[in-house]
Amino acid sequence: MGLLSEGSPLSWEETEVLADHVREHGVNQFINLYHRLKDRQGDILKWGDEVEYIIVKFDDEDKVARVALRAEDLLAKLNEKELADPKGVKSLWRPEYGAYMIEGTPGKPFGGLMAHFNLVEANMRYRREEVTELLGKDECVMSITNFPRLGAPNFTYPLAQPRPEDPLSSARSLYFPDEAIFPGHPRFKTLTRNIRKRRGEKVSIKLKVFKDAKTKLPVEGAPPGEPDVVLLDAMGFGMGCCCLQLTFQACNITEARRLYDQLAPLCPIMLALTAASPIYRGYLTESDCRWNVISSSVDCRTEEERGLAPLNKQKFRIAKSRYDSIDSYLSPEGAKYNDVPLTYDESVYQRLVEGGIDHLLAQHVAHLFIRDTVSLFSEKVHQNDNEDTDHFENIQSTNWQTMRFKPPPPNSSIGWRVEFRPCEAQISDFENAAIVCFVVLLTRVILSYQLNFLTPISKVDENMQTAQKRDACRKEKFWFRKSSKTTEQRAAKAQAQAQAQAQAQAKTNGKATLNGGSVAENGNGLADCNGSENGDQEEQQPLTNGSAKMNGHGNTNGTSNGTTNGTNGSSNGADSDHTDTDDEENELFQLLSINEIFNGKPNVFPGLVPLIRSYLQSMEVDTDTHCTIEQYLRFIQKRAAGELITTATWMREQVLSHPDYKQDSVVSERINYDLLKRIQGIQEGKQVEPALLGQGYHSKTKTKDFIPPALQKQLAKNGCCEEK
Ligand code: ADP
Ligand code: MG
Ligand code: MG
Ligand code: MG
Ligand code: MG
């Protein structure tokens, strides 16, 4: 979301009657933008993270921690630098749902160089320091996924009380006061009200309490007949959580569709690895993650749509909330794994197909558009469908899924992008940076080795639920695609060839490019996605010795998409992985532990980290960058192996071992305070937590001098992030 444009929100009644208007024009806008941008080629790899933070206020005398409702005033200050020099800032700050939340991103995206991995953690640290400078001594900016006592009595500073009976309240929650919703832009309260009104009742978020020896049942506020449920009743319980997101630019639309698909099955896996939110409204629960909470927190489906009443006013039953795991793959290879029936309006689908959109993309967009607009501004109702994309974005940006397929914005130099959205926010910059760098590397390996993680959507859905279970990272198993012999051979071959190539290059000029993709089987006729299309020779040259460049890769030259134009059948889309015959199909999906997925299982899967290591071996990487990446990979390996525990498990242990804990699942004000103080110590590097981060952990990343000046110039030219 950009700096949010101001405007006047329409009432729900006004919005509701414009649902079809938004749908019709949104679809037109998509068709138009598609034709403007479908042939766009040669965008370079750019990527960037988003970290959301909670501002906490400590009362050190009474030992109480609360969320500080300061986001609006902090953002005013944080945005000053950007307003003065939009292109020159190292960070960008945006509002989020909570009046106690802010979202920070790097000032510019990172680019295609290995050396950029050195900048991520430093940039995250810079962001944290930037906010900290504006805070009082008793306040702290924290990248925690959920504030453990969110919605418990008196959890805000200044104190604010919920007003469930007040017809003017947006949430009408028993627990979450409207004052805790970001006040600086009407979008957030409008969404809150409209989702509640569309649904016909307050949202209902149910979590099983973690039953300890002395847990009192029913839990306070439990629904009738469900004594062990912690009930949450407001959008803020979900949208008021923090997460870690990543966006990548692909070289063209085909590569974007492919990355979208390949990363989708990894969403539940990364959710399990990053699990960080076991406590809600002051109770330990059976869940380790925010996902189902946030999903239910914006579930605007009516009873009819949820299947609780016969269809009458609404057109269809809808299986999921508008916030959930993706429902269909977009690449031809993915088509056959779309095994869950997709709900969409046939006439919307037909218009897309008649507008020249292929089946897979048409059904994706038609499915997004089963949702009604839940936030509309009077200034935006009438638009020019040839230029504007607001109505499309209106629906797109309120379909909050594990992956987002992002078309280029109008009139910008930005290309087709995909967003990776499942990860929970981690306590330290080190952890967040490790996860970001890991996922970026994974995308390079996927493209270079042509890895195939495609798993039936139904199994990915199942994995999403598994991922949220208590200690899933160590205890559960996940559907995962067995790698074919060919995949492994391909990886080995690619590695060998890349090594040879790197050696040959090293002999001549010492410059290694990271384009493993072109060394796989079909190394011909591939688009060079790293700017070669613009004919600017200079752009293609890595500038210094040992600087490694991460290209977007081949096999995605824009010709292979849209293979299934106009057909609305089921098993369309070519399976490009010719190695997997139908016989093998049955055995293709196996239940693996997180450890096996990350570290490998003989004869089944080489492991995500070993695959990345093998990719890196084929690269010339300078020592600093190598160190940075290695410490991240080692950390991820250890967490996956259970040698280090997830944030969620660590938090549970903190509560269970607290002297005040009464074995009753309750996270009291004092326990909450001590937990958050400890977290503050960890993120500031003052508190060592071996179980969480290992023994001798200290970050080796520096802020300066990692990128030679000549290279910095190149980066600036490409509009990438350069650290001065
Ligand atoms: P949203 O909230 O819509 O997901 P944001 O603008 O908050 O998007 O964040 C998007 C992320 O994408 C940021 O980390 C930003 O640095 C990064 N980014 C910006 N431009 C590009 C680009 N051209 N390609 C890839 N990532 C980009
Ligand atoms: Mg954002
Ligand atoms: Mg956002
Ligand atoms: Mg956000
Ligand atoms: Mg985002």
Q: Are 123 and 90 contacting, i.e. CB atoms less than 8 angstroms apart? A: yes
pLDDT value at residue 498: 59
Q: Using a 6 Å cutoff on CB, does residue 443 contact ligand 1?
A: no
Q: Kindly report the three-state secondary structure assignment for every residue of 544-569.
A: CCCCCECCCCCCCCCCCCCCCCCCCC
Q: Are 518 and 553 contacting, i.e. CB atoms less than 8 angstroms apart? A: yes
Q: Using a 6 Å cutoff on CB, does residue 417 contact ligand 1?
A: yes
What is d(CA 460, CA 269) in angstroms, rounded to the nearest whole number?
9
pLDDT value at residue 445: 96
pLDDT digits (tens, 9 = 90+) for 207-265: 999 999 999 999 999 999 999 999 999 999 999 999 999 999 999 999 999 999 999 99
- Residues 444-468 have a mean pLDDT of 97
* Pairing mode of beta strands 47-59, 589-593: unpaired
**Structure-model confidence comparison of residues 712 and 44, the more confident one:** 44
> Does 275 score more than 70 pLDDT?
yes
Domains and CATH numbers, the chain: 46-322+401-493+607-712 (3.30.590.50)
pLDDT-derived band of residue 529, with 50, 70 and 90 as boundaries?
very low
Q: Using a 6 Å cutoff on CB, does residue 109 contact ligand 1?
A: yes
pLDDT value at residue 296: 98
pLDDT digits (tens, 9 = 90+) for 623-632: 999 999 999 9
pLDDT value at residue 556: 37
Share of the chain above pLDDT 90, in %: 79
The mean pLDDT of the chain is 87
Mutate which of 50, 87, 418 to test ligand 1's pocket (most atoms within 8 Å of Cβ)? Answer: 50
> Does 614 score more than 60 pLDDT?
yes
Q: Are 274 and 436 contacting, i.e. CB atoms less than 8 angstroms apart? A: no
pLDDT-derived band of residue 494, with 50, 70 and 90 as boundaries?
low
Atom of ligand 1 nearest to the CA of 107: 16
> Does 128 score more than 70 pLDDT?
yes
pTM of the model: 0.89
Q: Using a 6 Å cutoff on CB, does residue 256 contact ligand 1?
A: no
Q: Using a 6 Å cutoff on CB, does residue 47 contact ligand 1?
A: yes
What is d(CA 304, CA 310) in angstroms, rounded to the nearest whole number?
6
Q: Using a 6 Å cutoff on CB, does residue 401 contact ligand 1?
A: no
Q: Are 419 and 585 contacting, i.e. CB atoms less than 8 angstroms apart? A: no
- Residues 29-43 have a mean pLDDT of 97
pLDDT digits (tens, 9 = 90+) for 506-524: 554 433 333 333 323 322 2
- Residues 263-268 have a mean pLDDT of 98
Residue 257: name the closest of 364, 336, 109, 411 by CA.
364
DSSP 332: G
> Does 484 score more than 80 pLDDT?
no
The helix (H) or strand (E) run that includes residue 28 is helix 19-37
Nearest CA to ligand 1 atom 21: 109
Among the bound ligands, name the one nearest to the CA of residue 240.
4
Atom of ligand 1 nearest to the CA of 48: 14
Residues whose Cβ atom is located within 5 A of ion ligand 3: 1
pLDDT value at residue 618: 87
Percentages of the chain per state (helix, strand, coil), in multiples of 5: 40, 15, 45
What is d(CA 413, CA 198) in angstroms, rounded to the nearest whole number?
37
pLDDT-derived band of residue 6, with 50, 70 and 90 as boundaries?
low
pLDDT-derived band of residue 497, with 50, 70 and 90 as boundaries?
low
SS3 of residue 328 by DSSP: coil
What is d(CA 579, CA 713) in angstroms, rounded to the nearest whole number?
44
How far is the first Cα of the chain from the last one, in angstroms, to the nearest whole number?
26
User: How buried is residue 645: exposed, middle or buried, by Cβ count under 10 Å (0-12/13-18/19+)?
Assistant: buried
What is d(CA 115, CA 548) in angstroms, rounded to the nearest whole number?
7
pLDDT-derived band of residue 140, with 50, 70 and 90 as boundaries?
very high
Beta bridge partners of 481: 589
Residues whose Cβ atom is located within 5 A of ion ligand 5: 50, 245
Q: Are 437 and 702 contacting, i.e. CB atoms less than 8 angstroms apart? A: no
Q: Is the ipTM of this complex over 0.95?
A: yes
Q: Using a 6 Å cutoff on CB, does residue 49 contact ligand 1?
A: yes
Q: Using a 6 Å cutoff on CB, does residue 247 contact ligand 1?
A: yes
Q: Are 589 and 484 contacting, i.e. CB atoms less than 8 angstroms apart? A: no
Q: Using a 6 Å cutoff on CB, does residue 291 contact ligand 1?
A: no
> Does 699 score more than 90 pLDDT?
no
Residues whose Cβ atom is located within 5 A of ion ligand 2: 50
Nearest CA to ligand 1 atom 3: 1
242 is written with which tokens? 């923090």
> Does 577 score more than 70 pLDDT?
no
pLDDT digits (tens, 9 = 90+) for 586-602: 689 999 999 999 999 99
- Residues 540-559 have a mean pLDDT of 40
pLDDT digits (tens, 9 = 90+) for 290-322: 999 999 999 999 999 999 999 999 999 999 999
Among the bound ligands, name the one nearest to the CA of residue 51.
4
Instruction: Cite the beta strand spans of 268-334 per DSSP E.
Output: 279-280, 283-284, 323-324
Among the bound ligands, name the one nearest to the CA of residue 243.
4
**Beta carbons within 8 Å of 371's beta carbon, 6+ residues apart:** 300, 322, 395, 398, 399
Mutate which of 247, 397, 399, 432 to test ligand 1's pocket (most atoms within 8 Å of Cβ)? Answer: 247
Distance 191 CA to ligand 3 centre (A): 14
Distance 419 CA to ligand 5 centre (A): 7
Atom of ligand 1 nearest to the CA of 2: 6
pLDDT value at residue 187: 95
- Residues 399-422 have a mean pLDDT of 97
Q: Using a 6 Å cutoff on CB, does residue 90 contact ligand 1?
A: no
Distance 438 CA to ligand 5 centre (A): 18
Nearest CA to ligand 1 atom 2: 1
Nearest CA to ligand 1 atom 5: 1
> Does 709 score more than 70 pLDDT?
no
Q: Using a 6 Å cutoff on CB, does residue 78 contact ligand 1?
A: no
Q: Using a 6 Å cutoff on CB, does residue 419 contact ligand 1?
A: yes
Distance 124 CA to ligand 2 centre (A): 15
Q: Using a 6 Å cutoff on CB, does residue 255 contact ligand 1?
A: no
> Does 582 score more than 90 pLDDT?
no
Instruction: Cite the beta strand spans of 543-647 per DSSP E.
Output: 589-593
Nearest CA to ligand 1 atom 17: 48
Sign of CA dihedral 312, 314, 316, 317: negative
Distance 103 CA to ligand 3 centre (A): 8
pLDDT value at residue 383: 95
Q: For the ranges 21-30, 144-153, 383-392, 497-506, which has the lowest average pLDDT?
A: 497-506
Q: Using a 6 Å cutoff on CB, does residue 249 contact ligand 1?
A: yes
Nearest CA to ligand 1 atom 14: 48
What is d(CA 438, CA 3) in angstroms, rounded to the nearest whole number?
29
